[in-house]
Structure 1
Amino acid sequence: MSDAAGPALVVMGVSGSGKSHIGAALAAALGAQFLDADDLHPEANLRKMAAGVPLDDHDRMPWLDAVAAWIGAGRARGEAGVVACSALRRRYRDWLRAAAPELGFVHLAVPRDELDRRMRERRHFMPPSLLDSQLATLEPPAADEDACTLDGTRPMDENIARVRAWLSTRAAAKG
């Protein structure tokens, strides 16, 4: 399925980067379906993270399968979609791309001190003690990946405008 139905995007980054907030706003701006991938975590993953234990690849794969299935089902229906999903490693992004080869990634980059502040100010299953584990796992998108990196501390409207501009450039390049 091409982008003719609208984009398929993953808003990615570590916990506290603003994925859900920006992802929901981006989906609304694009008229796309929205999924917070946290909603697909198995209960065992949520318990593990709440206990301050980082997830490993064994924990993440069923979750990534569920996210990929949601993306693939939406594309099969011809829907645009935006998913807020950490997608911290390239191999996780490649796994998601298998569901929709045209999948693009919006990476939210936020300084560590700001991430820590945000995580301490919210109620979430992911405790601030796991921030360093998330940062150690993060592999920012490489130059050959279809990705747009945003400063996650910038105003929402500015970041939405940057994604729209990137999507226009991306569409023009694909012809």
Structure 2
Amino acid sequence: MCDKALITDPYRQLDDYIDSLPYKKENLIAILHQAQELFGYLPDKVQWHIAQKLDIPSAKVYGVVSFYSFFTMKPRGKHVANVCMGTACFVRGAEKLQAELEKQLGIKTGQITSDNLFSLDSLRCIGACGLAPVMMVDGEVHGRLNEAEEIKQVLEKYRPENIHEPTDSQGGMKM
């Protein structure tokens, strides 16, 4: 007998999620969010699977995936860094910020570091113009990044050796 909590196959988990929805076709975006959560991205094979499950054209699924910037068809790193390329950020040095990130991470925009820790992308605008130039890592905004050392400090926050569990006042782990 198989306990649902033990199900690890992402396709099975996705199917179970879809089956739990009362209006399947109307929940395409929610289904895509769930699929991206399970797979990390939305490759053609996953999009086709969703189309088959919902009995809709795969072009419709692709159209939604390619329209919304939240969805990605390429694998991402554990931490996603996005450089804002909106007007305010661009004028205040977004290109230099992007170039420095590429240098420090050893990748080009649109790529993933060899350890799969970071992926680097750009966005049109994140709405933090007063902090320009800005980058966002995993949804956290980091602004006024004009120096290589500032950028290095932001990246270091996301490296495994610098991520610590919260501790209580006696130095023990908080539970």
What TM-score, normalized to structure 1?
0.34
Higher relative contact order (CA 8 A, sep 6+): 1
What TM-score, normalized to structure 2?
0.34
Give the greater-gyration-radius structure (CA).
2
User: Is the helix fraction higher in 1 or 2?
Assistant: 1
